[in-house]
Structures are given as C-alpha cells and as structure tokens.
Structure 1
C-alpha cells in the first residue's frame, strides 16, 4: 500500500507554504490508493480576444503580443508544459503511472474545446505529462460543441425572464444599484487607460457607457462598462504573466502582481453578474458536471472514455460555472477571490480503500501564481482543497455523486459523444 499522504504533500509542500492562509490543510489520504483523475483546465496565457474593442475605449495604444488575438502564446505554452510536468511527477509518486514511461494504452484521454487556444493548451499539457507518447487531443467541431459551449450552441438556452431576474438580483435589485456599486473601479480603469479624443461611440469615456439589460432574439445581454472593462483587466493580467516589460503592463500601472490584481476588479464584477450567477451557471455547466460525475463512477453507462487520467480543457467560463455549482470558494496568491487563472485546474481525484472496496473523491483547485507564470517557475502550483459538500474534504463517491446530481439541470444535459481512442 502506497503511503500517499507523505508522498503527495512532500511534492506539494512548497506550494502550500507559499499560499495564503485560506488554503486548506493537506488532505489525509493515508491507507487509500489513487486510481482515477479527472480534471478541467482553463487555457493558458493569451492576448486580448479583441484588442480593437479595448483600443476604442483607450487613449493609449495597447502593446502587442507576439501572436494574434486570442491565441496561446509561446510563453503560455511553456507554463502549461511546466504544469503538466508537475502533475505527472505527482501522479508518478502516487503510483498512478510509472515514472519515465508512457501511459498504457487506454490510460489517458484529452477532450478539448474546439477553440484554437484550448487545443494548443491541451497539446502543451500532453507534452509536459506524456512527452513522446503520442497522446492525441480530441475535440468536437466548433458548431457542435455543447459541452464547453452549452448555452451558445443550443443545449442550455437561458430563459429571458429568469435571466433578467437573476442578474438583477445579483446587482442588488436594479441597474442603478450596480452602477453605483461598480462606479469606483470603472473610474479607476478609466484613469489607467485614459479617454480617447475621438471614438465611434456616443461617448468616449468608459464611465459614461450606459447600463442596460437588452434582449435580442430571446437572448439577454448586459450592456455596461463591465464588458470592455473586464477585458482590460484580463489583458493586464495576461501582460504581466506573459513577461511583458513592466512599463508596458497596464501602461506602467501593473509593476507587481499585487498592482495587477487591484486592477482586476471589473473582471470580478463581470463574473458576479454572469457566470457566478447560480441560474446561469447551472444552465451552462450541467452537461460538464454530469460528464465529470459519469467519469468518476466505475461502471456508469454512457460515460466518457474510462481512462485513469481524463482531461477536459476549456475556458474560464467553464471553471467559473463549475465553481458556482460546486459551491467552492478559493483564493490563490494575489488573484482576486474565485478567479479562474490561466491554466487553472479543477482536479477531481478518486481514491479507493483496497481492503474494503470503498471509493472516495476529493476536489481541489490548482493554479500557478502570476509571478510563477511570469518567471516560468517550476515550483509547485498553489492548491486549495474543496472543503466538501458536508464539511469533509474526502467524500464518499456515492454521496458526492448523489449530492452533485441534485445541482444539475437535467434539461441542460444530453448524451455526450466522444471520439474513440
């Protein structure tokens, strides 16, 4: 029997020591054997997905990355490789794989969002974990992906009335309440980016952008400064993580991870009014959570490929919505609370007691800090343990599945099709 506790947390020791006090105590898995890992990862470092949109609200020119908008950078690829190497070392120490060897046939499977940056992230993760092993990256066609893009592609459309009510509740009851709540961070962002002298909008000042809930063809969207402001916040974080010169990060206002984090308030605000709203999260993530639960069950019909290691590689929206369904709060290094970091990963581990046959599951969020990303540090990432739905981090598998199934909207799920290995 592998002495899992010592091995696992020797590997994680540095990450735990560096982490903030909110990080949970190490999980005691003594006497248990790890026999399955399912993970959900966000893609790595990228430029803005639409630099022109940010520029239209800025008086200052945005610095360029070395790749096109929305694509994984070379630096981001290297950071994901390091994350993969760390994870492989951990899993080797726990006996899931044999050190230095390719996984056996049918032992590892990757299912990616069809977006290019997630496919590139998947390839980097495989390179770090299984170098030279030809583990393929699988994905659906973009228009057919209803796992990572369930709402956009028609599996889980949002009811307009319920969406409006849910967003207004998150706002504090009204658009005016939200405008007042977020006025200070909007003005702070405007101070950083400036106000352009000319623009195509009715107003050139971010703080003067009107707030409205608009419905078009049955889809409700929030129009406000938060959309572009969140994009600015995220791009500042990506600039720092990418290693851009500090006089370019947030136009010289992001010279440390702490300074960058303070400029991310509008990103947090956007998520408070979207993917962290329970109704929106439940509709968007029920299919993905359902697939995770199927994967964790040994003999469930219609499950994903029954591999020892299964990776779903998607987007921050997927992480945020799953976090909301789980009821899992975290704080990683300097990031804002509940932030979905580049390469950040929800890690589901299945443990077995070989004497009794009992199975357990643990869940953690793992991410490299901004400084680890910037320096391409090979130190272990930070880790926060899910405290469990009933206050126990190591949960009986049957109980975990039963509890999480209550949180799934069955009308937002379907039989998922995977490519065969």
Structure 2
C-alpha cells in the first residue's frame, strides 16, 4: 500500500517512477512573438443598430459623439488597456519596459477602428510615434471584412445550411433566448400585459442581394443591437439612471448580452461561417507568428473578427460580466509563440483578454486573462506545427483574383 501511494504521489508530481526515477526536465520558455486580435473601443451606437420601430417608455440617452465614433471615454479606456498589455508583455519577457518597442498595428478601414488603433498606440508607448496601417477609409479590407472584399468563394446556401445545423434554425434560436427577449421588453418599458417593444417579424436568415453575405431578420436581429447599445451605455459610464432607464443592472446586462452573442451564433460561429470570416485573418495571424520584424502585431477590428477567429480555433470566449462569446469593447485574443530554450521546440499559447464592465466604466487598468485550451492540442501549450495545422485546416481557401 505504501509503495502504491508513493507511486501515485510521484505520478501526480510529474516524476518518473522506477528504480532510476529522476525529475522530468523543466521547460525554459522564451516568448518570441505575439499577436493581439482586438475589438475596437467604446463607441456611440451605430446607425440602425436599434431598429426604427423599437418602442421605448422614454427617449434614448444622448451620446457625446456622432454615431459609430469612439467616445473620449472609449479613448481613455483603450489607453488604459494598452498600458496593461505593455506591462503584461514585459512580464512575459517579450518586450522591454522602457523605450519604443517594435510593434505593428493594423486596423480596419473604419473611423472607429483607426481611432482605436491610435488610442491603443498612445497608451502602449506614450512617447513613441507608431504608424497605423490601414486601407483608405471605407475600403473593404479582406483581413477584417472578407465577405465584403470577396476574399473567398462564399456560397450563401452552404452557409445557411451550416447555420441551421449549428443552431437548429432561426425559430429554435429565438425560442432558446425567450427569457432574455422577455427581460429586454421589460427594460425597454413594456408592461407585463403590453409586450412587443422589440420588433418581431419572422425569424429568418437568407442571402444578401449580391449573394456574398447574409441577411438576418426577426427578433434576434432586432434584439442583438438593442442589447449591445445597453452594454455600451454601461461601459461608457452613463449615469446609472440612464443605463436602460435605470432598469439594466450588471446582472441584467450580462443576461441580455446573450442576445448580442446570438448574432455571432449566425454570422461567425458555425464552421462554414468561421472558415470564411477568419480566412484572411487566420492566415495573417499565422504569418505574424512566423515572420521576422516587429515582435508584436495588433489587428484592431471588430467583435466579428475576434469571434470568428475563436470559432476557427473551436473555442468559446468566457469572461467575467459578459455572456459567452459576447466580446466587449477592447476585448482581444492574445496569441503567443514560445520557444523551449533547452530543446528548441516551439509552442503557441492562446488567451482571452478582457476588462470587466466595472473596469471599463471606471477606467481602471486591470484586466482578465483567461488561457484557452485549443481542441486537438494536448494542453495549454500547443506545439506550433500542430497549432498551424489545426487553424489552417479550419480556414476557407482564398479566392484567386484574375
């Protein structure tokens, strides 16, 4: 019995059990490169994010900037999280604490992503002058908008079939979120008798007019934008009585966040959608991990980019204060390439970095970093070749332009 117990304890400690038992050699890991795939910062609501026929018991609050623009509060929040990321990567040994680090920032071509890239650079290294790479304003960048850029041979019928297999169909998706939809009606100001503040209509997903994208209709389409606007009110730091007219506390916002995440259950999470939405971004991440040049690359895009890459990696995104797969402003996937200094073996580690709603609201610098286990990898450290093979196998072929 004593021998068996000793054997069990040694095995748990990672030791070899036998007549010549020795401790297994420890890895000496050095971080060589890192990539951040981020969502832009806190913004004002988008035009049409809340459908025109949405009913409310009182007017919506006003915002300090025009629709879709990053707010001054959002700029400060990005500067804070950038300072956190700098400290984190210094602690990980990737960068030095002083001086201007080698960093490449690539943003999408919208005003909010470009402004977010500039704010992030200012917070990451305040005394340095980083160039922000992006396409001309409004030009579809295939890294961030592969469907609009027609980067892949997208088949709307195949996409809809994949979505229906994943979700059970749009009617089933609506039923699963029935409780959240009812709660949203209450926040909007509908009484228990008078339901229907959220525009209804038939739940359906179909091809866009040009066949290169999808169009979602029905309660999830209507509710997802409303839920996002309510979260933006919270993290913008609007007075508590203005966040959902005083009826949306943090617990309610997390519940309603599932309605926003349901949008990604259609547009990025199903395997076909993930393969096409992450087709260019995934390859850009792999190239950045293996290239020479700046040790850190930041891709500043949208929640669709973060969720699509996560879906291609077959992981869900969980963070305190948010619904599953509801990426907050400034939320990011951190992908690091590491080398074992003893053996030369290389690994990839993926983490999900977010700031809680309270931190964003109060402009704090703390953040949550959650390590992600990639299916197909033995542990949190995935052999680099395995990681490249797994991610590459989940990306759609790029369309050859003639």
**TM bin (shorter chain):** 0.7 to 0.9
In the TM superposition, 1:41-56 aligns within 5 A as: 41-50=38-47, 53-56=50-53
1:384 to 339, 360, 370: 370
Query: Does residue 170 of the first structure (1) align with residue 163 of the second (2)?
Result: no
**Mapped partners of 1:328, 1:175: distance in 2:** 22
Q: CA RMSD in A?
A: 2.3
Structure showing greater radius of gyration is 2
Query: Does residue 34 of the first structure (1) align with residue 31 of the second (2)?
Result: yes
Q: 1:314-342 CA deviation, whole Å, 9 max, x = no partner?
A: 00000011110001123211211122111
Change (3 A) 1:52 1:365: closer
Query: Does residue 145 of the first structure (1) align with residue 159 of the second (2)?
Result: no
Q: 1:27-46 CA deviation, whole Å, 9 max, x = no partner?
A: xx951111211111100111
State whether residues 282 and 309 of structure 2, in contact with CA within 8 Å, keep that contact through their aligned partners in structure 1: yes
Q: Which residue of 2 aligns with 1:123?
A: 118
State whether residues 204 and 217 of structure 2, in contact with CA within 8 Å, keep that contact through their aligned partners in structure 1: yes
Change (3 A) 1:195 1:295: same
**Mapped partners of 1:404, 1:113: distance in 2:** 22
Q: Give the CA deviation at 1:281.
A: 1.4
Change (3 A) 1:167 1:91: closer
In the TM superposition, 1:319-334 aligns within 5 A as: 319-334=306-321
1:400 to 370, 387, 395: 387
Q: For 1:269, what is the secondary structure of its paired residue? A: helix
Q: For 2:139, what is the secondary structure of its paired residue? A: helix
Q: For 1:209, what is the secondary structure of its paired residue? A: coil
Query: Does residue 80 of the first structure (1) align with residue 74 of the second (2)?
Result: no
Q: For 2:63, what is the secondary structure of its paired residue? A: coil
**Mapped partners of 1:368, 1:377: distance in 2:** 9
Change (3 A) 1:30 1:404: same
State whether residues 290 and 413 of structure 1, in contact with CA within 8 Å, keep that contact through their aligned partners in structure 2: no
Q: For 2:263, what is the secondary structure of its paired residue? A: helix
Query: Does residue 71 of the first structure (1) align with residue 69 of the second (2)?
Result: yes
State whether residues 187 and 207 of structure 1, in contact with CA within 8 Å, keep that contact through their aligned partners in structure 2: no
Unaligned runs of 5+ in 2: 1-25
Bigger shift: 80-89 or 90-99? Answer: 90-99
In the TM superposition, 1:10-409 aligns within 5 A as: 31-50=28-47, 53-59=50-56, 60-103=58-101, 107-141=102-136, 142-156=138-152, 158-172=154-168, 174-194=169-189, 205-206=197-198, 208-215=200-207, 216-218=209-211, 219-255=213-249, 257-298=250-291, 306-379=293-366, 381-388=367-374, 389-409=376-396
Unaligned runs of 5+ in 1: 1-28, 197-202, 300-305, 415-421
Q: For 1:271, what is the secondary structure of its paired residue? A: helix
Q: Give the CA deviation at 1:412.
A: 5.2
Change (3 A) 1:65 1:192: same
Change (3 A) 1:144 1:171: closer
Change (3 A) 1:98 1:220: closer
Bigger shift: 177-186 or 350-359? Answer: 177-186
Q: 1:36-80 CA deviation, whole Å, 9 max, x = no partner?
A: 111111001112112684453122311011111111111111111
State the TM-score, normalized to the length of structure 2.
0.85
Q: For 1:46, what is the secondary structure of its paired residue? A: coil
